Amino acid sequence: MLSVSAKREEQYSEDDRVFVRERVMGTFTRRVYLSEHLDAEAIEAVYNNGVLAVRIPVLERAKRRKVEIQKTADTHKAIKS
């Protein structure tokens, strides 16, 4: 599970008067369950200009791969293990 916690605060000077606040202030937490196909050890996160970007790479064994299908003359032949 990936858990992200933060605290949102606004700072006002003594001369500022707030009439309407469009964002909720305070602490919050977001939890995301990670798939077993993701590499939790290689997570990268960057916070820039108010945006948090989280990169979670896919494990090599979970990536797509191309499998060649072989054609045989015997249609009832089983795959040998």
- The CA distance from 49 to 30, in Å, is 19
pLDDT at position 17 = 80
Work out the percent of the chain whose per-residue pLDDT is above 90.
Answer: 25
Task: Mean pLDDT check: name the lowest of 21-35, 37-51, 57-71.
Answer: 57-71
DSSP helix/strand/coil, 58: strand
pLDDT at position 44 = 94
Q: Is the distance from CB of 35 to CB of 16 less than 8 angstroms?
A: no
What are the DSSP E strand ranges found in 9-78? 26-32, 44-48, 51-55
Lookup result for tokens 């191309």: 66
Q: Residue 67: is its pLDDT beyond 90? A: no
pTM summary value? 0.56
